[in-house]
Structure 1
Amino acid sequence: MTSPTLPTASAPDTARLLLGVLLPTIVKGPIIRRPWAVGLAARLDLDTRAVGIVRSIHAKHPAGPLMLKLPIRRQAIVLAPEDANTVLARSPEPFTPASSEKRAALSHFQPANVLITRGPLRTVRRALQEQVLDTDHPVHHLADRFVPVVEEEMLELLAGAVRSGSLPWDDFLDAWYRVVRRVVFGDHARDDKDLTAMVIRLRKDGNWAFLKPVRTKTRRRFLARITEELANAEPGSLAAVMAAAPKGDGAEPADQVPQWLFAFDPAGMATFRALTVLATHPEAMAAARREVDGDTSGRRVLPYLRAAILESLRLWPTTPMILRQTTQPVQWERGLMPADCGVLVYAPYFHRDERSLRSAHSFSPERWLTEEDDGWPLVPFSDGPVVCPGKQLVLLVTSAALAALVAGHDFRVEEGQALDPERPLPGTMDNYSVRLGVSGRS
């Protein structure tokens, strides 16, 4: 007996999802953000509308994944929290993260990266990533090297901001890129803006995925630079750990490094957004400073500030579309999902569900310090066996940056969106338009 297929959305509902959810997310830039599109989304409140669209369609189809009515692409969207957890828990088989769309996008700058690898090679590349990034440890074994780098760059940034009286996003991003280059490659790469420019150029192409040909010469030159860095790795850098790590056949170490540069970029965005919220939320700022003032870990273990980063990512996910693709037919209670079917977990829908989450539209880092929301798909770093291997390292670096910023300085929002602790926070945070006033801590 043939199993029934999963329910399929109507053509109008499919169009609503495509135009109101997928299109705005893609236009904002899935690989690197387009500032004008983020600003437009903020002005039109497109992300809040997108969550509303998913909610209304979920009400029509309360159980099971939903197939979309598309002519050439088999695509499903996951609407129920338990189904989202199932998809993430059963990755990479039968739900591979190496979806067709992701492979097309990331191949522009890291064609042999673990994220777009399937089969036995994926196991080899994932093991290498986990070893270098200390995936299972909250404090990376090079924390004594990385934390001072973060503090040094943040203090230099603050000195300039105090002189000018303000801290715009662009200045923060320049300092953040210096941190990233020093952590990944060492001090000698601090001012190597050409390397950063190359990966930015290739990531912009990645936004177009299938629609833009790969700049093969630029990609070759970029990966050659990475290979050279690994061959001459500076002690105390991630590159040095990578160079020294045992590697299985097909590990392609040079192709694993660009993902660190990619992932650290949205981490900086989450840090600046968290700082902006702290500047407008006195109680949260007070809690952050109590932790910093009482810290005895050398800023290696800062639970509240790590939670503040996680909360920033919950409110404004830097990876709103978690993509999977079935490697074989998958049987669900309501029907069969075919092989080679795209699967979308739209994180903002689960992250902003006020029916199930306390203070869903408020800044509440405390939620990450309790078991209150355990089991609910709050997935800023994805989840399950393919959770981001750099999660703990990112939280170490970003919380150290926040600590350095708030320890001795006050901030206020001079330009940008109004953030009121008494009102729901906006669905989109336009960090590109934010300018923070800076002064010594009162």
Structure 2
Amino acid sequence: MAVASRLDTGRVFAKVLLPTLGKGVIVRRRWAMAMAEKAQSDAVAVATVAELRERYGPAPLRLRVTGRSVALVLDPADVGRLLAWSPEPFALATREKRAALNHFQPHGVLASRGPERERRRRFNELALRPEKVDVEPVVLDEADLLARHVASAGVLTWDDFTQAWWRAVRRIVLGSGARSDVALIDDLKALRQDANWAYLHRRRHRLRERFERRLLEHLERGESGSLAAVASPDELLGQVPHWLFAFDAAGIVTMRALALGGVGVEGVLESARLWPTTPVILRESTRPTRWRGTWLPAGTTFIVFTPYFHRRFGDGYRPELWPTDEPSLVPFSGGPGVCPGRDLVLVGAGLMLDALRPHLDVPTVHPPLPATLDHFALRLPATRK
């Protein structure tokens, strides 16, 4: 297994990792996304990773990081192996991930290890089933209201879309009694903004307590037809913040799929392939591990830069790729750590996409599609009648 030069290690940080962190991993920064689109930072990052693979070969590339063992994954087969062998010996709850998620969901499954993780994982898998909630009527109701606004305004903007999307999400997760509770999501967003800094930002315990009190009020209603009705409020309280966090990414994917002219679940998946909302997947070895003839110490951090692997399949709209068993196409991660809410998200996003698309005059897009797409700046014109 090759070790990168100090210069190439610096290039990985300067052109791949820092621009990705700068955009915001937990919640996107509007100003940073605008700059990233202008510079097409993901294109630069993908080219950098491709060049490193050409220079060093397909095995994971060890980076020169003082006091840490870090490896950049460069081969699709290694992506499959890393995800398939999670959470043991490759834990999802890396130190960086725990430091970030502890700001707003310290009891979530992604921040957990061992038996506690297994219990929480089973709970999430059982709870996040589309058939357990009234997804379709909620999404179509909010989409209809948004479509009427678009017809009046003549354009769909991100700000209009995200307001409607969050109304639908609050109803799906917490019930119609939470439809107008914008303050709940504002508090969560503030906590997620802190989480962007991981261990570099102090935890705001009072803010999290306020958020959890407000969240618990909705959960205690246990409104029928919502996820709040699938378990007790105490069981849900530690998991729902992550569900809301994940639905934010789903909204971004849906807006981009609309701009893409996508249709149905395949359109949502293609949006997530072209512009992954989880651009970096991290795993951390729990014990010394032999990989391609090299022993790596416990605590080794493995980095998968997903745009590099996703763009191997082209820069155009290719819905025929789905479904797929390709191990490096991972819009919802993969292996035992695959997103437990994948089906629920795809149903909701697909419904919203198909309900809004007839009301928008989206031109046919041709490759190459941009490597970085700023969803905040999207303005989609209404269909002319």
**Interval containing the TM-score (normalised by the shorter chain):** over 0.9
Who is 2:320 aligned against?
366
SS in 2 for 1:336: strand
Would the aligned equivalents of 1:179 and 1:190 in 2 still touch at CA under 8 Å?
yes
Task: Describe the superposition over 1:105-139 as per-residue Cα deviations: whole angstroms up to 9, x where unpaired.
Answer: 110000111101011100111111111012xxxxx
SS in 1 for 2:322: helix
- Counterpart code for 1:312: S
SS in 2 for 1:141: helix
2:208 to 219, 223, 236: 219
- Mapped to 1, the partners of 2:231 and 2:55 lie a distance apart of 49
Shift of 1:421: 3.0
Who is 1:268 aligned against?
251
Instruction: Say yes or no: does 1:314 pair with 2:304.
Output: no
- Mapped to 1, the partners of 2:82 and 2:235 lie a distance apart of 28
Would the aligned equivalents of 1:113 and 1:255 in 2 still touch at CA under 8 Å?
yes
- Counterpart code for 1:409: H
- Mapped to 2, the partners of 1:328 and 1:422 lie a distance apart of 47
- Mapped to 1, the partners of 2:85 and 2:327 lie a distance apart of 16
Who is 1:9 aligned against?
4
Q: For structure 1, list consecutive stretches of 5 or more residues without a partner in the other structure.
A: 1-5, 135-139, 245-250, 279-283, 289-304, 414-419
Structural mapping, 1:326-341, within 5 Å = 326-341=285-300
Q: TM-score, normalised by structure 1?
A: 0.84
- Mapped to 2, the partners of 1:70 and 1:205 lie a distance apart of 25
- Counterpart code for 1:59: E
Would the aligned equivalents of 2:61 and 2:74 in 1 still touch at CA under 8 Å?
yes
- Mapped to 2, the partners of 1:198 and 1:333 lie a distance apart of 46
Residue correspondences, number = 385
- Counterpart code for 1:345: V
- Mapped to 2, the partners of 1:410 and 1:117 lie a distance apart of 42
Q: For structure 2, list consecutive stretches of 5 or more residues without a partner in the other structure.
A: none
Shift of 1:164: 1.3
Structural mapping, 1:135-174, within 5 Å = 140-142=130-132, 145-174=134-163
Shift of 1:232: 2.1
Would the aligned equivalents of 2:40 and 2:370 in 1 still touch at CA under 8 Å?
yes
SS in 2 for 1:411: coil
SS in 2 for 1:196: helix
- Percent of pairs with identical residues: 45
- Mapped to 2, the partners of 1:253 and 1:327 lie a distance apart of 28
- Mapped to 2, the partners of 1:410 and 1:375 lie a distance apart of 33
Q: Cα RMSD (Å) of the superposition?
A: 1.5
Compared CA separation, residues 252 and 99, structure 1 to 2 (3 A): farther
Who is 2:128 aligned against?
133
SS in 2 for 1:224: helix
Shift of 1:63: 3.2
Would the aligned equivalents of 2:290 and 2:296 in 1 still touch at CA under 8 Å?
yes
Who is 2:101 aligned against?
106
Would the aligned equivalents of 1:361 and 1:425 in 2 still touch at CA under 8 Å?
yes
- Counterpart code for 1:428: T
2:226 to 206, 218, 237: 237
Shift of 1:252: 5.0
Shift of 1:226: 2.6
- Counterpart code for 1:427: A
Task: Describe the superposition over 1:43-80 as per-residue Cα deviations: whole angstroms up to 9, x where unpaired.
Answer: 11110010000011111222321211011222111111
